[in-house]
Amino acid sequence: MQRFLNRILSYRASFTLIVFILLLIFFEIFSAEHSFFKPANLTAMARLAPDLGIVSLGVGTLMIAGEFDLSVSSTIPLCSFVFTKLLGWGFPLIAILFITIFTGALIGFSNGIMVVKTKLPSFIITLGTMLFWRGLVYAASRMMPIGIRSWLDFGTWLEKLFVGAIGGELPIQILWFIFFAIVLGAFVHFHRFGNWIFVTGDNETAARAMGINTGMVKTVCYVMVGVLCSFMGMMQNLRIESFAANQGVGFELKAIASSVVGGTALTGGIGSVLGIFLGTLTIQIIENGLILMGAPPFGISAFIGAAIVIFAILNVSIARKSGR
């Protein structure tokens, strides 16, 4: 029994799980009228949490490979903008879907290539690309929201696919989140490419000495982040039924926070998809719970900031204690 416990606790994600459960209990007790576990609140969370979650899965996996992507907060509105424009031009829905995803992939690819070729720190490169794309989106849209209802009838398959509700109750977004988590989890932890991601982030020199093309590994991860951003951009767009220039604002930090809370190391080579999954839910719960407790919106970002630092410290000290 002791060994079993040790084994479970040695997984980074277990720690996150414990925190997650504790937070659930905490907010249920302290939220106004115990509204935390009410169906209305849970449904709302199931609809909103996947926004951050899907992006975090990508960002966290990239962090395992040892790199950062701060440009997600610009990729999301950019893809949402492309999506909206394509709708306006009357393209067939299936084409719109693929073109938008391709846009995200292209942006991710450009990030990856730049990081690999210039060998500069990824957080600087993606800082630059974030500003670059953001400026473009702002200028192209003049920061005005664009509603999509005039071009998109109710009840199309595209809408149902992204923002429908199973049985009228369960938002499909949460299913997408779980789906991506499972697929990515299987890939990262059981596929050989996933091993390459881990060793690239852990010891890039060793990986290259063993013949692994670390540049390709990183670029693939960046493309994946771009694709997930485009997916999420569309999902959000369809949910709020418009493009908004401030979509994705702050996501780059929250995605990193989710990953760090989920046990991902900032230096690479350590992390788990399950951890990122739980980490996202934890961050969302904190946000949601604080709102329900009546905290003003400004205070929330302060908490997220503190959470990043606290969990980063905790991760490091856990790693040191368990010798892992």
Partner 1 sequence: MSDQKSTARDSGTTLPKGNDTPLVKMVDIHKWFGKVCALRNIDFHVNRGEIVGLVGDNGAGKSTLIKILSGFHHADRGEIFFEGKKENINTPKIAKRLGIETVYQEQALAPHVSISRNVFMGREPTKSFGFMNRKMMDKESMGAITKLGLRIKDPEAAVEALSGGQRQGVAIARVMYFKAKLVILDEPTMALSVKESRQVMDFMQQLKAEGISVIFITHNIFHAFQAAERFFILSHGEALTDVKKKDTTIDHLIEFIVSGGQEME
Partner 2 sequence: MSALIRMRSLNVFVIFIVLFLVFSIFSPGHRFFSRENMKIFLSAGAEFNIVAIVVGMLMIAGEFDLSVGSILVFSSWNFYVFYNAGVHILLALFLTLCVGGIVGFINGIITVKAQIPSFITTLGTMLLWRGVTLFWSGGLQAGMELEKNPVMFKAIAGVIGDLIPAQFLWFLGIALIIALVMHYHKFGNWIFTTGDNKMAARAMGINTDRIKVICFTVVGICVAFVSVMQMFRASTFSARTGDGWELKAIAASVVGGTALTGGVGSMMGVFWGALVISIIENGLIFLRINYWWIFTVFGVIIVSTAIISKYIEQRRVMLGAERN
Chain positions contacting partner 1, by CB under 8 A: 186, 190-193, 195-196, 198-199, 202-203, 205-207, 209-212, 265, 269-270, 323-324
Site for partner 2 in 231-290 (CB under 8 A): 253, 256, 260, 266-267
Number of residues that bind partner 2 (CB under 8 A): 44
Specify the 3-state DSSP secondary structure of 170: strand
| 305 is a contact residue toward partner 2 (CB under 8 A) | yes
> Which is nearer to partner 1, 84 or 264 (by Cβ)?
264
If the CB atoms of residues 156 and 267 are measured against partner 2, the closer one turns out to be: 267
Choose the contact partner of 138 out of partner 2, partner 1, none; CB within 5 to 8 A by kind: partner 2
Choose, by CB under 8 A, the member of 95, 124, 144, 166 that binds partner 2.
124
Q: At what angle do helices 12-30 and 273-292 cross, to 10 degrees?
A: 20
CA distance 90 to 41: 36
Interatomic CA distance for residues 258 and 272, integer angstroms: 12
Q: Could you say which of 128, 145, 164, 215 contacts partner 2 (CB under 8 A)?
A: 128
CB 184 within 8 A of CB 119: no
Question: Is residue 294 within the footprint of partner 2 (CB under 8 A)?
Answer: no
144 part of the interface to partner 2, by CB under 8 A: no
* CA distance from start to end of the chain: 21
- Is the Cβ of residue 93 or residue 253 nearer to partner 2 in the bound state? 253
Contact call for residue 130 and partner 2 (CB under 8 A) = yes
Q: CA-CA distances (angstroms) from residue 246 to 74, 75, 77, 143, 311?
A: 9, 11, 7, 8, 27
Q: How near is the Cβ of 299 to partner 2 at its closest, in Å?
A: 4
Choose among 216, 239, 261, 245: nearest CA to 79: 245
127 binds, among partner 1, partner 2, none (CB under 5 to 8 A by kind): partner 2
The DSSP element (H or E) to which 147 belongs, if any, is strand 146-147
CB of 207 to partner 1, least distance (A): 7
Distances (CA, A) of 315 to 21, 171, 259, 286: 18, 33, 11, 19
Using the rule CB under 8 A, is 4 a contact of partner 2?
A: no
Residues 6+ apart with CB under 8 A from 248: 72, 73, 74, 75, 76, 77, 229, 233
Which residue is associated with the tokens 């951890």? 275
From partner 1, partner 2, none, interface partner of 196 (C-beta below 5 to 8 A by class): partner 1
List the single partner that 205 binds among partner 1, partner 2, none, CB under 5 to 8 Å by kind. Answer: partner 1
CA atoms within 13 A on the CB side of 4: 1
Binding positions for partner 2, rule: CB under 8 A: 114, 118-121, 123-125, 127-136, 138-139, 142-143, 253, 256, 260, 266-267, 296, 298-309, 312-313, 316-317
